[in-house]
Amino acid sequence: MIALTLSHITSVLGGTLRLAGTDTPETVVDGTVDTDSREIGPGGIFVAKPGETTDGHVFVGAAVAAGAALAIVERPVDADVSQIVVPDAVTALADLAREVVAIVRAEEDLRIVGITGSNGKTTTKNMLARILESQGETVAPRASFNNEVGAPLTMLRVRRSTRFLVSEFGASGPGEIARLAGLVEPDIAVVLMVGMAHAGGFGGIEATFHAKSELVRALRTGGLAVLNADDTRVRDMAPIAAERSGTVRWFGQAPEADVRAEGIEVTASGTRFTLTADGQTLPVTLRVLGAHHVMNALAAVAAATALGVTVADCVAGLESLELAERWRMQPLGSERVRIINDAYNASPDSMTAALRTLAQITAPGERMVAVLGAMSELGEYAGEEHDRIGELAVRLRIPRIVVIGAEARRMFISAISEGSWSDEAVFFPDADQAYDYLMTELRDGDRVLVKSSNSAGLRFLGDRLGESFS
């Protein structure tokens, strides 16, 4: 974090300052801000956030032992560290992030990009960050730090030397993106797609549209909206950008897209396509598996070129990225048995894309195996969407379908109803039983997709299989 005095921070947070040791209101702090005491280092600021299963106040002592110079708390704690007592620690975290970014933006040339969408946020964030890192100091979220805690923590890593801030905005309900994006008012708002992910929390696809459009509404006046030309709902966000006196830059495969892809070819080693942007046409080879990641790459290029990066530098950045993120289309195992661990997030759209990728990268003589778990946060749509995925797996002629967990059982039933007989589709209540089965079933030449939402825990099964066949 940038250097601020204790009195300045207290004023921003509207809290009460309790000094410790030799500290005064003019004592300056500039360490890393975190809600996890294990991530605190010398001079750090620990935010004691109450949680569902534990309370951050219990860990103030551990944070002090690690070198914390300040604790932001909701009640005073018996610890030898200066404390700012606030009504709500999460609100305080957001207020501090807003202030830090505003100060740097006012004094330096900081450009801010916000990214949202039902799928692809983290991959796009990583692609854009990789491109921008070659141009100047870039701050981007670790993993999927995109919620009410993760987004402000990322913003608080901004320094006066930071040139680019890439923020990823996720949400499970209306208003969340508006609150988070409102902290920084991005110069560029990237919207990838509007799909069924989190539809249960939003209340349907139209409500999802309104939630994702909150990022465009949060644009800085005169900013740029980078929108998916192939998604009709995202296209409908163009008038919202106009309300902010903003302009639109389109990406996609549509002929009218400003940044577009042609000739997409998916292989087991990566994805190739021809990129057209800013009047230039260049070949691109992504090491990230799956045709769906081409759209993420186009979005990253559209944002980066708007920030002044050359198309050639964009391609170099994209081609240097070996993995989108751990547990996202992550190749494991060996050429003998290849495991694709994509079990960190799952929605109907990403599940469909992953299954199609499995079919595309499996060569003649090799066998497809789909290991599938539940898609979470679909609410009333859960049953029909799990049915649809089970049916799709059969229609893609996947000869081994392994469904795990009670919440995913309808995939198994639908696969059988669609024609997956004679043990082609099997069901197991938990991952351990599925692992035992797979260790006897998998054979040389198998290409295995492990796909589920994070809550299903199949990412760990994917890791186990990857290690077993490495």
- Single-letter code of the amino acid located at 4: L
Contacts of 266 by beta carbon, 8 Å cutoff, 6+ apart: 289, 290, 291, 357, 360, 361
Question: Does the annotation list 35 as a binding residue?
Answer: no
Question: Does the annotation list 49 as a binding residue?
Answer: no
Question: Does the annotation list 120 as a binding residue?
Answer: yes
State how far the alpha carbon of 232 is from the alpha carbons of 194, 209, 224, 254, in Å.
9, 10, 19, 11
Rounded CA-CA distance 281/300 in Å is 16
Question: Does the annotation list 123 as a binding residue?
Answer: yes
Question: Does the annotation list 117 as a binding residue?
Answer: yes
Look-up of token digits 């495991």: 339
State how far the alpha carbon of 70 is from the alpha carbons of 16, 29, 150, 158, in Å.
13, 8, 19, 18
Binding-site residues, please? 117-123
Q: Residues at the annotated binding site for ATP?
A: 117-123
